[in-house]
Amino acid sequence: MSFVVSGAGLLPWRPHSESKSIKKLAKNHWRKTCRFHHFTQMANSGGGAVCNGNLHNHRKQSDGSQSGNYTENGTVKEAQQNGKPHIYKPFVEFFEEAPLHVMVFTYLGYGIGTLFGYLRDFMRNWGIEKCNAAVEREEQKDFVPLYQNFENFYTRNLYMRIRDNWNRPVCSAPGSLFDMLERVSDDYNWTFRYTGRIIKDVINMGSYNFLGMAARYDESMRTVKEVLEAYGVGVASTRHEMGTLDKHAELEDLVAKFLNVEAAMVFGMGFATNSMNIPALVGKGCLILSDELNHASLVLGARLSGATIRIFKHNNMQSLEKLLRDAVIYGQPRTRRAWKKILILVEGIYSMEGSIVRLPQIVALKKKYKAYLYIDEAHSIGSVGPTGRGVVEFFGMDPRDVDVYMGTFTKSFGSSGGYIAGRKDLVDYLRIHSHSAAYAVSMSPPIAEQIIRSMKLIMGLDGTTQGLQRVQQLAKNTRYFRQRLNEMGFIIYGNEESPVIPLLLYMPGKVAAFARHLLKRKIGVVVVGFPATPLAEARARFCISAAHTREQLDTVLEALDEMGDLLYLKYSRHRKSARPELYDETSFELED
């Protein structure tokens, strides 16, 4: 099995308002974690560390505290923070390659599906088979087709056969258990009919409810109810006009405090936070360097900006550095003028891979080549780091190392919307220039209150350690689930600390069988395939929650064990993959 190790330690910063008990709990938790990974704590006198013949200098933080990392065979080890003993923080990622025969059968499966697709399209064309897909109106028969193009081939002929596994109507809160409406199809998934029955208490392994904050109403949500009563739901105006509420100001102050940055701005929709703010930051003559697995909202924002976009291989520092170097050396095409700005776009946790961004390396690169860094923490905020502050805390880095923080409230906070945070200049600029501030209605007040409530819980501002316990429970559940899947012999991807856990299924037939069988056992899973993943890497994507009990996880694991045998899914041979090796060769050192 391949793995990459790098690391960080305890958080170098923490909001003043945090209670002592929270600090203690977080510290103990990470001590335990470190023991679990057989890493030890040790005192360090500071100074440079020599590994593999390279000298890696310790970083002097501007607040006067000392911090240092050194690398060894791709290992980054936290050396010292705030004069305290340092802690080795493991960073372990797995990307095992499938055995050859699995790949052969997967492509064969798609090949056969494609052949039958052509045959059926031919029959539909000649009226031999009924065409259920959208068709052109009779009077537009000689127009270029609006719907029936080749891109729909995959949807029409493959996706339709297994469509029952997606868009299932849920009729409860997305807690660790949820209810689903039963539906059946009489025409091979072209249409569905509800039976009127409810499938109750399905174990929910697919919602992004990492900290269990999305739940049906209970007394802890009282303030949300009060805000609903006082403000209503709709704001009916944009932030620039009548839509800036005191609740928005309160939330923005809290987000800035949570992230330990100067300022933050919130938006009504996470997707629009990316797609509408990136164009406000870069434009023509600028260069965007985007990870190949970035979310569609980042891709759309990049395209809308008009900037030149270049893609680097997922989390691959060699690939990113080559693009940065070329950008600096050659400048813009034809004119060879320097790029106005270079913006690196990455995510904290990649939602299809379960991988965590290699932030220390990216920060080193961005400093070296004087580029800006925009990080989307949709999945990582609240879900990683000793106190849930995301990847900067996970790596024990300085929050000022990132230029633009973006995140959503739709996952760990059980709410809706997104934020941009960072320096006050940046946020002030976006308040004026962001399309989603100028032209979109602002965040609904009860939605804002739900975020405030959740964030205060995580920060311990409610006077309890409940929020922190959830962060720790999530980490525990994640490690347990990943470890058990590994032991069973499944190929799972991603970082061992990532609560997003992809389990590789590969073959399209198995994707459908997997989800259908599990639903029969009252386990709801998300399965994903092309175009969200590479064609031959269809997978199930589990999202672990702090709300999952050990009993629920064991029920799921037992079912997966049986499913793995039934469908021959235990492909792991604990072999090395080619992917991580590419990550490590760079010309830079971690600390500059």
Ligand X SMILES: Cc1ncc(COP(=O)(O)O)c(C=O)c1O
**Applying CB under 6 A, which residues contact ligand X?**
269-271, 274, 295, 297, 347, 351, 376, 378-379, 408, 410, 418
Q: Which residues contact 373 (CB under 8 A, 6 or more apart)?
A: 343, 344, 346, 362, 363, 366, 401, 402, 403, 404
Q: How far is the CB of 528 from ligand X (least distance, A)?
A: 12
Instruction: Give the DSSP H or E segment for 302.
Output: helix 296-305
β-bridge partners, 72: 75
Where would I find the beta strands (DSSP E) of 306-376?
308-312, 342-347, 372-376
Residue whose CB is less far from ligand X, 131 or 170: 170
Nearest-angstrom CA–CA distance, 299 and 311: 10
Q: How far is the CB of 368 from ligand X (least distance, A)?
A: 26
Please list, residue by residue across 261-277, b when 16 or more beta carbons sit within 10 angstroms of its beta carbon and e when fewer do.
bbbbbbbbbbbbbbbbb
Residue whose CB is less far from ligand X, 208 or 339: 208
Residue whose CB is less far from ligand X, 348 or 460: 348
Residue whose CB is less far from ligand X, 147 or 166: 166
DSSP state of 337: P
Q: How far is the CB of 376 from ligand X (least distance, A)?
A: 5
Q: How far is the CB of 118 from ligand X (least distance, A)?
A: 34
Burial of 10 (0-12, 13-18, 19+ CB in 10 A): buried
Q: What are phi and psi of 59, to 5 degrees?
A: -90, 140
Report, in angstroms and rounded to the nearest whole number, the Rg of the chain calculated over CA atoms.
Answer: 25
- Spatial contact of 220 and 414, defined as CB atoms under 8 Å apart: no
Q: How far is the CB of 88 from ligand X (least distance, A)?
A: 29
Residue linked to tokens 């996706």: 159
Q: How far is the CB of 488 from ligand X (least distance, A)?
A: 27
Q: How far is the CB of 397 from ligand X (least distance, A)?
A: 20
Residue whose CB is less far from ligand X, 297 or 450: 297
Q: How far is the CB of 271 from ligand X (least distance, A)?
A: 4
Q: Give which of 419, 344, 435, 338 is closest to 377, Cα–Cα.
A: 419
Residue whose CB is less far from ligand X, 90 or 417: 417
Q: Which residue is nearest to ligand X (CB)?
A: 270
Instruction: Give the DSSP H or E segment for 106.
Output: helix 100-125
Residue whose CB is less far from ligand X, 58 or 295: 295
Residue whose CB is less far from ligand X, 408 or 477: 408
Q: How far is the CB of 302 from ligand X (least distance, A)?
A: 13
Nearest-angstrom CA–CA distance, 203 and 182: 15
Residue whose CB is less far from ligand X, 378 or 540: 378
- Spatial contact of 266 and 249, defined as CB atoms under 8 Å apart: no
